[in-house]
Chains A and B, each alone.
Chain A
Amino acid sequence: MRREENVAATQGIEFARLSLREALDLAIAIEEEARDRYREFAEQLTAHHTAEAARFFEHMARIEEIHRSQLAERREALFPGERPQPMRERIFDVEAPEYDAARAFMSVREALEAALSGEEKAYAFFVRAIPLLESTEVRKLFGELRDEEVEHQDLVRAEIARLAGEPGGRDEAYSDDPVAQ
């Protein structure tokens, strides 16, 4: 089910004809989108007095920026000075958690679960895209990126397991139902 959602989350990308340069541009755009989403979440949660989860999302934003810059360096080494293809406008929430994953007063555990959903979506995206690719080198790149998503998932899952004993339910965070003021 998730895989199909992810195919729908791109527009106008012909995977069969994707060149290595375009594939790198796409991968960079995916990391950039995730970075920006985590930054937005951090800002939202800071504004809504949810400091711990905000710090976690800031941390995630830094990680995504590291991934983005590593890919950008690799691209520059392979295709020095070549203008990037505009890929950002063609993707929708590939690795970025969806907007409704954030909530005021969410716990760090819930924030981790939001991040895990992003990593799972990205993994499903690469799994689905690989059979559509014709270029061997793009397949290799996407295979590499898919495997990295598995590593990221394992890291997030380990952290969730570490926090298993801590409270995390959204309902627990509310002392009362919202009321008119």
Chain B
Amino acid sequence: MRTIWTIFRKEFLENLRDRRTLTTALLLGPVLGPLMLSGLLQFVAQREQERLDKPLPVAVVHAERAPNLLSYLKGYGVEVTAVTLSDEAAQQAVQSRQQRLVLAIPEDFGALLAAQSPAPVYLYYDAANLDDARSLRRVTSLVTQYGQTIAQLRLLARGVDPAVIVPVIVQGIDVSTPRSRAGTVLGMLSYIVMFAMLLGGMYLAIDATAGERERGSLEPLLTTPIARAHIVYGKILACCAFMLISLVLTLSTTAFALSHTRLDGAGIAVDFNPSVVLHMIATTAPFIPLGAGLMTLIASFTRSYREAQSWLGLAMLVPTLPLAIASVLGLKPSLATMAIPSLSQHFQLMAALRGETLPLAWMLLSAGVCLLAGFFVCWIVSRLYQREAILG
């Protein structure tokens, strides 16, 4: 135990003095991550706000043929511009994005309406442009509403209750709370936390293994009368300590950044009080030994500092894989998925964000599986150090 502590203290101290380790562990993740997140959120919130308030511009060909429809549209915030375009010209204008939406009123629109036959209007849009898809929905539903109003008037004129043509009505009830909506937007937090945490321990893992070998200091170290397993455990512990510092810092700075981000425009709220942050740290921390063990394992196999750096850069993506797969498949927390390290941390982070609590058994399962896997990997690394090939 004492020797593990000696190794731990030296690795920790030495890396505290290393500028590269320090910047990545204490600066890169904890500062850049939350800044990115809150910046992005603010951008999303602003866009949402702008879109709601913005008038919807529609170019109309032959506006004079349907004055009532147009004044109805204007009443709902549509900005009508009268243009003179042939069919092909209208199509081209939308294709070349000169116009976003072009509404064309045919010559016989008024006549068909008067004859109580379906009167078509033509709406040119570009389905490849997602932004216009929203505008399209808005214009389409406004025109449909206008048609329904006319239909109701026609029925009334015939002495029929308009309600008979509405046998079923769908009323959506949104049960999401501002806090739960935050979860969907803040799903990125898991990536940032995972990444910052791994980054925090990365350089120490490299320095303590591949770096030690490259400097030639591994050989003298192995001539001291201590068990090689203890050397490994001391190093992994130091890596864990840096990861934990990185995790605590990242979550704290995120909490701080988000409490200074105006999000009400996007209809979401984030409650990042200290107890939520503590809860997040407690549920994410069990992943640390596994992450530290894996990084040390990979770095031990490589022949040089540079090689270790490129391998670990790739390896860092591995813990984010379950998150990506889960979001594609739409996986939800369950007894089975809570047994997957990193994914279970993601679920717990999200639950904490939404203000929900997962069953205690699931949380214990997550922590237990992570810690067991972590100890197993650490044991493998200690076996690796018994081999002579470790000297390179």
Q: Indicate whether A and B interact.
A: no
Residues of A in contact with B (beta carbons under 8 Å apart):
none
Residues of B in contact with A (beta carbons under 8 Å apart):
none
